[in-house]
Amino acid sequence: MTGVRVLVPRAGLWGSRAAALLRERGATPVIVPLIAYEPGEPMPEGLARGDYDWLVVTSARTVGALGVVAASTRIIAVGEATATALREAGLPVHFVPRERSAAGIAREWPGSADEAQVLLPQSDLADPGLASALTKRGLAVRAVIAYRTVAVEVPPEGRTPVDWILVTSGSVARQVAAQLAPLPPGTRVACIGERTAAEARAAGLPVDAIAAQTTLEGLVDALP
């Protein structure tokens, strides 16, 4: 990948890690934040008291907003990246669905659904379908906005040509489409997973590579 320029769409720790991995492979990272995050609602006090039987976590970003989680509460992670973030925060992971998606959580629900209390912290942009599907199973679901996603305007220097753009979420895909499309000839798009690839296509972007594992390392490995 020597000399290959790769747009990294997030700053902070994630962006720094992505840049380091790319440099190890000889690529040139170009960090251009397209989204940022703002705090959402505080977590219910009942999360620390043990009022919830289950905590469903659908993104690694949510983990930092959780605070204290009672030891009696069982935790579901949507995929390995989220599970890793939970474990790194000192929280156990009791279940990860085989189908790494919100639909997988609903279909593969691991316990009794009868009147179980579920806390579902999500982004303000999250699809309400998971809460609806769990409610239909008989679960008592409380959805909370854990964080809000906001767009970041791309500065002129961020519009320099690149060979690849990393797309890590549907919100990133939509910002690429809104601020950088039409993409110059030769600029390709790599998505962190199948779900993100579907959202990128829905936003009108081409998808040239999809990570086999929904992790930062998997995304970088997807680049030829």
Task: Give, for 172, the enclosing helix (H) or strand (E).
Answer: helix 170-179
* Domains annotated on the chain, with CATH: 5-34+152-221 (3.40.50.10090), 38-148 (3.40.50.10090)
* pLDDT tens, position by position, 65-100: 999 999 999 999 998 889 999 999 999 999 999 887
First to last CA, the chain: 7
Tens-digit pLDDT profile for residues 107-135? 999 977 677 999 999 999 888 899 999 99
Per-residue pLDDT at 96:
94
Residue 34: Cβ-neighbour burial (10 angstroms; 0-12, 13-18, 19+): buried
CA distance 148 to 168: 16
In sequence order, what E strands does the chain have?
5-8, 28-31, 35-39, 54-57, 74-77, 117-123, 140-151, 164-167, 188-191, 209-210
Q: How far apart are CA 70 and CA 49, in angstroms?
A: 6
Model confidence pLDDT, tens digit, residues 180-194:
999 999 999 999 988
* Per-residue pLDDT, 165: 98
Average pLDDT for the chain: 93
In the structure, what pLDDT confidence band is assigned to residue 213 with cuts at 50, 70 and 90? confident
Q: Is 1 a residue whose pLDDT tops 90?
A: no
- Average pLDDT on 165-189 reads 95
